Structures are given as C-alpha cells and as structure tokens.
Amino acid sequence: MATVENYLSTFTEHQSLVQSIAVQMLGSSYNIIKSNGYQKWLNSQKTKDCDESNVPEEKEAKTIIKVKKARNPRVKSIYKKLLEFLEASVEVDCVCLKGVERSDISSLPNIGGVYWITNEKDVLFLGTTSDLRKNVMLALKSISKKCSDENLKTSITELIAGKCSIPVETLCIVYLEMEDAKKRIRIKNKVKNEAAFSPVLE
C-alpha cells in the first residue's frame, strides 16, 4: 500500500530540499497528503495496484509528519548551500562573511557585484549593485524594517549604528565582485529562480 514514506523515497535531492523548505515556511499548515504532487503519485500507485490485483484495498490511516523544531546539526546552513550552488554554476570567486561585524561592512569594496544576506535558514535579501559597500548597508536597513525576528532586528540596528560590540553570528553576507551589469543581472536571476535561494523579505 502507498504511504507518504514511499512517496518521499522517490524524491530527488532537489525535491527533498524544496519539500523541507515548504515544511519550515508553512509549519503546521503544510499537509503533504493534500499536495498535488502526492495526490498525483497516489493515483498512479492505485492504478498499479488495481492492475496487479482486484482485491479491494483497506482504508489507509492518515500519516502525519511531525517536524521537530529542534535544530538538526546535519542540516546545512543556507549560506553553505548557496556557496555550493554558486561554485557549481558560476565561474567567479565568492566571498563569505559569516558573523557580520561593522568592520566587515566598512571593508566591503566600492565596486559592482551581486550580494546575498542570509540568516541560518533563509536568504533575506538578494541584490545587484555598482557599489557593494553602499548597497549592502541599505539592504541591512531594509531587512531591519521588514524582519519579524526581534533579536535579529535589534542586532542589525545596532550593527548599522556601530553600537554592536560582538558579531551578529546568525547573519551572513555572500558576495561576488563583478563590474559587468548584464552578467550581474544574469547571475542574480539564475540564483533567484532556485526556490531554495529566493529572498523571503523582498
């Protein structure tokens, strides 16, 4: 008999990543049993079962997937996944600033590039610019206004004001330097089209 576990076992690595993001973002409102993908797969399994046997199936108990909120140390941070994706798909060196301090922002180059600002699990902001230092600062201000995480909001506000004495450990800035505006936009769009890296605050 078809079960959710059987369905999940058919997933590719990419599908598993997308599904885990859906579970994280939608929380208790996410129901895999009602998803289009599961229903389509279930119908194909029922067709197979009917072909193999005419014995009527017993009603299957609903399977509930419980998602633990405790942090799983085996789950990679989003910035690590982003770096792997960029390494595989873009032939440009990236810089990653993990645990952001005011001096990190001050040391950003005044040249063009593409940049991402993340926390542990989400890409918060994605931008292209002709001046990385100036626009990363503007992006941080935007994040502090839109962010629902009060601790992160406070840390970013203090970071911008230069009052943050310790690094903001949950914050990460990934950037690549690039003067060609058309290439910057191509890279931005390529990454943005990946569901896992789509910014949550734009």
> Could you tell me the pTM of the whole model?
0.59
Q: Give the residue numbers spanning the domain of 57.
A: 1-72
Tens-place pLDDT, residues 25-36: 777 777 888 787
Instruction: State how far the Cα of 73 lies from the Cα of 188, in Å rounded to an integer.
Output: 29
Using the predicted structure, report yes or no on whether residue 196 has a pLDDT greater than 90. no
Does 51 share its domain with 147? Answer: no
Contact 192, 123 (CB under 8 A): no
Domain match, 64 and 84 both: no
Clarify whether residues 84 and 160 are in a common domain. Answer: yes
Three-class SS state of 146: helix
Using CA atoms, how far residue 70 sits from 32, 39, 43, 75, 196, in Å, is 21, 29, 34, 11, 20
Q: Are residues 178 and 134 in the same domain?
A: yes
82 and 67 co-located in one domain: no
Residue 191 within any structural domain of the chain: yes
Q: Which among 110, 111, 81 is positioned nearest to 96, based on CA atoms?
A: 81
Residues 56 and 96 in one domain: no
140 vs 165, which has greater pLDDT? 140
* Residue 75's pLDDT band (cuts 50, 70, 90): low
Q: Which of 50, 72, 94 is the last residue of a domain?
A: 72
Count the domains in the chain: 2
The answer to whether 79 touches 118, Cβ cutoff 8 Å, is: yes
